[in-house]
Amino acid sequence: MVRQEVDGGVAVLTLANPPVNALGAALRAALDGALAQAIADDSVRAIVLAAEGKVFVGGADITEFGKLQQPPSLPDILDRLDASPKPVVAAINGVALGGGLELAMACHGRVSAPAAKLGLPEIKLGIIPGAGGTQRLPRLIGPDAAFPMMLTGEQVSAETAAALGIVDAVVLGDLVAAARTRALEIADSGALPRVRDRAEKLTPEAREKFEALAAEAVKRDPDATNVHALARAVRAGLEQDFDAAVAVERAEFRTLVEDPRSKALRYAFFAEREAARVPGLPKDTPRRPIHAAAVIGAGTMGGGIAMCFANAGIPVMVIETEAGALTRGLDRVKGLYAGSAKRGSITEAQRDERIGRITGAIGLEHAAQADIVIEAAFEDMGVKREIFSKLDGIAKPGAILASNTSYLDVNAIAAVTNRPQDVLGLHFFSPANVMRLVEVVRAEKTAPDVLATALDLGKRLNKLPVTVGVCFGFVGNRMLERRSRAGERLLLEGALPHEVDAAVTGFGFRMGPFAMSDLAGLDIGWRSRKDFGGRAPVADSLAEMGRYGQKTGRGFYLYPDGARTGTRDPEVEALIARVAAEHGIARRSFSPDDIVARLMYPMVNEGARILEEGIAARPSDIDTIWINGYNWPAWRGGPMHWADTVGLKTVAEALSRFAAETGDDSQEPAPLLKKLAEDGGRFADWKAA
Q: What is the pLDDT of residues 256-266, one digit of tens each?
A: 999 999 999 99
Cα separation of 186 and 204, whole Å? 30
| CATH classification at residue 430 | 3.40.50.720
pLDDT over 70 percentage in the chain: 100
Catalytic residue numbers? 102, 122
Looking at the structure, tell me whether residues 498 and 464 fall in a common domain: no
Looking at the structure, tell me whether residues 496 and 467 fall in a common domain: no
Average pLDDT, integer, range 528-540: 84
| CATH classification at residue 26 | 3.90.226.10
Cα separation of 72 and 35, whole Å? 12
Q: What is the pLDDT of residues 429-457, one digit of tens each?
A: 989 999 999 999 999 999 999 999 999 99
Q: What is the pLDDT of residues 108-118, one digit of tens each?
A: 999 999 999 99
Cis peptide before 19 (omega within 30 of 0): yes
Instruction: Identify the domain boundary among 457, 472, 487.
Output: 472
Inside any domain, residue 625: yes
Which amino acid type is present at position 169? A
Q: Is the pLDDT of residue 531 over 80?
A: no
Split at pLDDT 50, 70, 90, the class of 525 is: confident
Q: Is the pLDDT of residue 168 over 90?
A: yes
pLDDT at 190: 86
Looking at the structure, tell me whether residues 427 and 532 fall in a common domain: no
Instruction: Identify the domain boundary among 472, 490, 505.
Output: 472
Inside any domain, residue 607: yes
Inside any domain, residue 587: yes
Contacts of 443 (CB under 8 A, 6+ apart): 410, 411, 414, 420, 423, 424, 425, 470
Inside any domain, residue 526: yes
pLDDT at 65: 73
Q: Is the pLDDT of residue 66 over 70?
A: no
Strand partners, 359: 317
Looking at the structure, tell me whether residues 343 and 456 fall in a common domain: yes
pLDDT at 32: 96
Split at pLDDT 50, 70, 90, the class of 534 is: confident
pLDDT at 477: 95
- What letter would DSSP give residue 670? P
Listed residue (425, 421, 418) closest to 469, CA to CA: 425
Looking at the structure, tell me whether residues 526 and 465 fall in a common domain: no
Which amino acid type is present at position 362? I
Instruction: Identify the domain boundary among 238, 257, 276.
Output: 257
Inside any domain, residue 264: no
Average pLDDT, integer, range 269-290: 95
pLDDT at 69: 75
Cα separation of 78 and 101, whole Å? 11
Cα separation of 497 and 512, whole Å? 9
Looking at the structure, tell me whether residues 535 and 600 fall in a common domain: yes
pLDDT at 527: 84
Average pLDDT, integer, range 336-348: 94
Looking at the structure, tell me whether residues 92 and 208 fall in a common domain: yes
pLDDT at 387: 97
Strand partners, 57: 96
Strand bridging mode 46-51 / 88-92: parallel
Looking at the structure, tell me whether residues 507 and 428 fall in a common domain: no
Contacts of 138 (CB under 8 A, 6+ apart): 146, 147, 201, 202, 210, 234, 237, 238
Looking at the structure, tell me whether residues 218 and 305 fall in a common domain: no
The torsion region of residue 132 among left (phi > 0), alpha (psi -120 to 50) and beta comes to: left
Inside any domain, residue 278: no
Looking at the structure, tell me whether residues 134 and 184 fall in a common domain: yes
Average pLDDT, integer, range 210-214: 97
How many structural domains comprise the chain? Answer: 3
Domain residue limits at 308:
293-472
pLDDT at 183: 97
Split at pLDDT 50, 70, 90, the class of 223 is: confident
| Phi and psi torsions of 276, nearest 5° | -70, -20
Inside any domain, residue 391: yes
540 in Cβ contact with 546 (< 8 Å): no
| CATH classification at residue 672 | 1.10.1040.50
Average pLDDT, integer, range 468-494: 96
Inside any domain, residue 277: no
How many beta carbons lie within 10 A of that of residue 569, not counting itself?
19
Looking at the structure, tell me whether residues 504 and 573 fall in a common domain: yes
116 in Cβ contact with 91 (< 8 Å): no
Q: What is the pLDDT of residues 621-675, one digit of tens each?
A: 999 999 999 999 999 999 999 999 999 999 999 999 999 988 888 899 999 999 9
Looking at the structure, tell me whether residues 602 and 582 fall in a common domain: yes
